[in-house]
């Protein structure tokens, strides 16, 4: 196994890129994620540990945030009295003598989730030390994090000072979420912190212990319990220090701090190597099914593993009451809220490789049906209307207003009111999961209710107008065009939704008659209602231009100003940002795959090959990919249409969104949907993975010329299949 294709490396310290790397090198285990801030801190850094489900709505803010938990990383060192720091201010007379960084390299092992950093550092005394840091978030025990530091005296025999701490004085970009009264514990060889969120009342408890040196506890500020140590290194001597941290919340246990103190004692007794062995064994299990091999394109191979790694560390393993936020647990973007990104982008690849994780994510929605029903009711509808942005409660948490613009004004955000396709996206994910897994227990107990009650919503939402059914005031995937009537994406997906609901009822009637009767009674699925659904299917307005043989994104779309998006290249921002919000909504510039998204989801059911190609050639040049969700979907559809050069361009773009930070916002967190999207572009697009009408598994590879081979695994109805698609493909074996 070539380490090169499994290791993300930062060569040389690049101060301007640290917040980008903090995101890329995030470690996590589906319970918490921790950005790759340095143990010793750095001016301008943004350390954050985010724990699934810990939201809080702070006074004076519009919506809840996923809360930055206390920081467990701090290990501060002095070398002969010189503080170890990567940026040193040599002329700052108020600070102690500064040192000098002679060398730096950091790497993330994607196969094991271990973050490694080596620094060669010269203290003001002239002593030189090599510092080797390592950390991981245990995948075996999600409540445990471990750090190891090796200090090697390369030149001289320096005096070393160590301070290992927990920092409770954290905030979300200045917004305080923790009550100021924290419990800080520092006794014997342990430190601990317990903190409570101000509105939601969640409690987090953390505890740490240090091995390899004798420590003294101290707690001065009430928020930074610390273990201190000091020792001298002889010339060439090496000392290894390990810090173990346990993390619990009131979502898991009644006494988070007490539990953490016990758990950290056990972890420390087990020792670093033993914890690491268990952790690596769990990762090996993940990769045994999740790895996708591309031969012939090392750059994309590494990038694909990077995307897979981030999906895996974000996916909750043991909890069906949390889900993956748009920025995973790697940053504060979108406040940790959950969007359609999960169901249509991140979740489907998990269905193939880690079906239990996919199921957890669907269950999150099932447990939030009450919120969705409330939203439907409050808006005057029946059934379940899921929030566009979701947190712990299941209530709509989309902010109504943007953050202030440069001129101080705020823009009204309509997605929470009008981006109602989210309910169908969830139904689609349930159906897709069931088609591939045949997890009948899930379907009959939970999934069916999701599909059916969201169908009930649409039955009450459509409007009988002009001798047909229409849907007004929507936002489709293209969010530049708000509150439009008859979004073709939405209307067509609603037809799919109602057809699927009827198909599902037929299946339940035959295969699960008890559940059928229960759901018919509890959701009011009367004959009248079902006849109404049939009617909607037959008479839904699907905007289509007969002359041009294309789907029309929405009526009036082509009456707006045409802006040739390809002329706006190269650019570092969206065309919307260049033209301005007000102008761009009056143009044909499209934010992200919309009709193209429809083609990805429904494939041939959208229309003939001619119509699909016409749609592609119409919408591709109008799309500015202002959303990170867009390029991967374009890659997927282009590959299916046999437009392999376009597909590869889009795939390459998508796979590098985070690595190259080509949206300039990776400091806010990973783009979860882009990660899931590239996996789907590869599987559904280039490899043509699908189920035929009889539910049989097929592939139809159309690979970029320089790819020799793609190998991947798929769980299909309980059995694992390995596909080995070679280029050119004559016959594809299914092992």
Residues that bind ligand IFM (CB under 6 A): 326, 334, 339-341, 477, 479, 627, 629, 673
Residue 237 annotated as catalytic: no
Nearer to ligand IFM, 202 or 339 (CB): 339
Q: How far is the CB of 62 from ligand IFM (least distance, A)?
A: 16
What angle do helix axes 355-366 and 448-461 make, rounded to 10 degrees?
50
Q: How far is the CB of 478 from ligand IFM (least distance, A)?
A: 9
Among 185, 257, 176, 190, residue whose Cα is nearest residue 223: 185
Nearer to ligand IFM, 326 or 682 (CB): 326
Q: How far is the CB of 202 from ligand IFM (least distance, A)?
A: 24
Catalytic, out of 479, 499, 561, 610: 479
Contact between residue 130 and residue 102 where contact means Cβ atoms under 8 Å apart: no
Nearer to ligand IFM, 638 or 673 (CB): 673
Sequential DSSP letters for 688-715: --EE-TTS-EE------TT--EEEEEEE
Q: How far is the CB of 84 from ligand IFM (least distance, A)?
A: 38
Neighbours of 311 (CB within 10 A): 25
Q: Which residues fall within 8 angstroms of residue 113, CB to CB, at 6 or more apart?
A: 27, 28, 29, 136, 137, 139, 279, 283, 309, 313
Q: Which residues fall within 8 angstroms of residue 313, CB to CB, at 6 or more apart?
A: 26, 27, 28, 29, 30, 33, 113, 137, 328, 329
Contact between residue 436 and residue 691 where contact means Cβ atoms under 8 Å apart: yes
Nearer to ligand IFM, 523 or 629 (CB): 629
Q: How far is the CB of 507 from ligand IFM (least distance, A)?
A: 31
CA distance 726 to 110: 25
Among 215, 193, 165, 174, residue whose Cα is nearest residue 261: 193
Nearer to ligand IFM, 116 or 421 (CB): 421
Q: How far is the CB of 488 from ligand IFM (least distance, A)?
A: 16
Signed CA dihedral, 705, 709, 713, 714: sign only: positive
Residue 377 corresponds to which tokens in the numbers above?
A: 């009711």
Rg of the chain on CA atoms, in Å: 27
Q: How far is the CB of 340 from ligand IFM (least distance, A)?
A: 6
CA distance 14 to 651: 27
The three-class DSSP label of residue 677 is helix
Query: The tokens 């802006």 sit on which residue?
Result: 563
Residue 317 corresponds to which tokens in the numbers above?
A: 């393993």
Q: Quick one: three-class SS letters along 595-615?
A: HHHHHHHHHHHHCCHHHHHHH
CA distance 128 to 123: 6
Among 330, 348, 308, 339, residue whose Cα is nearest residue 655: 308
Contact between residue 352 and residue 714 where contact means Cβ atoms under 8 Å apart: yes
Among 565, 573, 674, residue whose Cα is nearest residue 620: 565
Q: How far is the CB of 224 from ligand IFM (least distance, A)?
A: 35
Among 700, 675, 578, 684, residue whose Cα is nearest residue 306: 675
Query: E strands of 577-647, at which residues?
Result: none
Q: How far is the CB of 328 from ligand IFM (least distance, A)?
A: 11
Nearer to ligand IFM, 239 or 671 (CB): 671
Nearer to ligand IFM, 117 or 337 (CB): 337
Nearer to ligand IFM, 156 or 626 (CB): 626
Q: How far is the CB of 325 from ligand IFM (least distance, A)?
A: 9
DSSP 93: T
Which residues on adjacent β-strands are paired with residue 79? 82, 160
Nearer to ligand IFM, 99 or 477 (CB): 477
Neighbours of 377 (CB within 10 A): 13
Which residues on adjacent β-strands are paired with residue 71? 167
Instruction: Say how far residue 481 (Cα) sits from the centre of its chain.
Output: 25
Q: CA 11, 13, 15 angle in degrees (round to 5)?
A: 140
107: left (phi over 0), alpha (psi -120 to 50) or beta: beta
Q: How far is the CB of 419 from ligand IFM (least distance, A)?
A: 8
Q: How far is the CB of 333 from ligand IFM (least distance, A)?
A: 8
Nearer to ligand IFM, 153 or 338 (CB): 338
**Size (the chain), residues:** 735
Instruction: Say how far residue 682 (Cα) sits from the centre of its chain.
Output: 18
Query: The tokens 């009131």 sit on which residue?
Result: 250
Nearer to ligand IFM, 339 or 366 (CB): 339
CA distance 734 to 725: 9
Contact between residue 228 and residue 155 where contact means Cβ atoms under 8 Å apart: no
Active-site residue list: 479
């Amino acid at each position: 196994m070539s380490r090169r294709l499994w290791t993300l490396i930062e060569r040389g310290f690049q101060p301007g890129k640290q917040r980008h790397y903090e995101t890329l090198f995030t470690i996590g285990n589906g319970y918490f994620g921790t950005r790759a801030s340095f143990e010793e801190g750095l001016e301008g850094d943004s350390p954050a540990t985010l724990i699934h489900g810990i939201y809080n709505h702070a006074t004076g803010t519009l919506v809840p945030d996923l809360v930055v938990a206390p920081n467990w990383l701090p290990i501060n060192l002095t070398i002969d009295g010189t503080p170890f720091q990567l940026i040193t201010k040599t002329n700052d007379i108020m600070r102690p003598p500064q040192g000098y960084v002679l060398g730096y390299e950091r790497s993330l092992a994607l196969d094991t989730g271990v973050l490694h950093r080596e620094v060669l550092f010269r203290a003001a005394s002239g002593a030189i030390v090599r510092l080797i840091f390592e950390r991981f978030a245990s995948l075996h025990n999600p409540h445990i994090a471990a750090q190891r530091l090796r200090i090697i005296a390369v030149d001289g025999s320096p005096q070393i000072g160590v301070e290992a701490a927990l920092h409770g004085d954290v905030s979300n970009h200045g917004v305080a979420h923790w009550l100021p009264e924290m419990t800080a514990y520092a006794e014997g060889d342990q430190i601990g912190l317990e903190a409570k969120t101000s509105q939601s009342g969640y409690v987090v408890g953390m505890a740490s212990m240090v091995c390899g040196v004798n420590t003294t506890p101290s707690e001065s500020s009430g928020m930074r319990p610390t273990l201190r140590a000091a020792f001298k290194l002889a010339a060439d001597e090496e000392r290894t220090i390990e810090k173990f941290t346990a993390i619990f919340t009131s979502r898991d246990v009644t006494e988070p701090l007490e539990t953490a103190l016990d758990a950290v004692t056990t972890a420390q007794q087990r020792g670093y190597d033993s914890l690491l062995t268990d952790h690596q064994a769990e990762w090996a299990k993940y990769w045994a099914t999740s790895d996708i091999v591309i031969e012939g394109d090392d750059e994309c191979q590494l990038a694909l593993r990077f995307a897979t790694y981030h999906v895996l560390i974000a996916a909750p393993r043991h909890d069906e009451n949390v889900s993956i936020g748009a920025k995973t647990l790697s940053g504060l973007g979108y406040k940790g809220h959950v969007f359609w990104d999960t169901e249509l982008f991140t979740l489907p690849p998990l269905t193939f490789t880690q079906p239990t994780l996919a199921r957890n994510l669907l269950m999150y929605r099932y447990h939030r049906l009450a919120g969705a029903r409330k939203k439907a009711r409050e808006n005057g509808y029946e059934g379940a209307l899921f929030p566009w942005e979701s947190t712990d409660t299941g209530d709509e948490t989309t902010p109504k207003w943007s953050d202030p613009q440069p001129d101080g004004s705020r823009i009204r955000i309509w997605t929470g009111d009008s981006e109602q396709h989210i309910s169908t996206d969830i139904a689609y994910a349930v159906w897709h999961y069931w088609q591939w897994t045949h997890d009948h227990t899930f379907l009959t107990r939970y999934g069916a209710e999701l599909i059916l009650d969201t169908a009930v919503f649409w039955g009450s939402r459509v409007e009988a107008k002009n001798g047909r059914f229409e849907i007004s005031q929507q936002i489709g995937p293209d969010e530049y065009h708000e509150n439009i009537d008859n979004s073709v994406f939405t209307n067509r997906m609603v037809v799919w939704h109602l057809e699927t609901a009827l198909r599902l009822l037929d299946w339940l009637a035959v295969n699960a008659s008890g559940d059928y009767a229960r759901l018919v009674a509890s959701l009011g699925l009367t004959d009248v209602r079902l006849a109404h659904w049939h009617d909607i299917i037959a008479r839904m307005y699907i905007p289509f231009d007969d002359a041009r043989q294309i789907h029309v994104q929405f009526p009036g779309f082509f009456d707006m100003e045409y802006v040739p998006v390809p002329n706006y290249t190269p650019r570092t921002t969206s065309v919307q940002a260049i033209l301005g919000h007000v102008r761009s909504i009056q143009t044909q510039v499209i934010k992200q795959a919309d009709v193209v998204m429809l083609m990805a989801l429904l494939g041939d059911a959208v229309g003939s090959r001619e119509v699909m190609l016409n749609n592609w050639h119409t919408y591709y040049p109008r799309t500015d990919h202002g959303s990170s969700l867009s390029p991967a979907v374009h890659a997927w559809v282009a590959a299916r249409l046999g437009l392999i050069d376009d597909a590869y361009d889009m795939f390459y773009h998508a796979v590098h969104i985070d690595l190259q930070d080509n949206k300039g916002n990776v400091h806010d967190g990973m783009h979860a949907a882009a990660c899931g999207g590239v996996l789907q572009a590869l599987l559904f697009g280039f490899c043509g993975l699908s189920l035929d009408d009889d539910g049989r598994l097929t592939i139809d590879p159309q690979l970029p010329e320089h790819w020799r081979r793609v190998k991947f695994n798929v769980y299909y109805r309980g059995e694992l299949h390995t596909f080995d698609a070679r280029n050119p493909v004559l016959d594809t074996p299914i092992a």
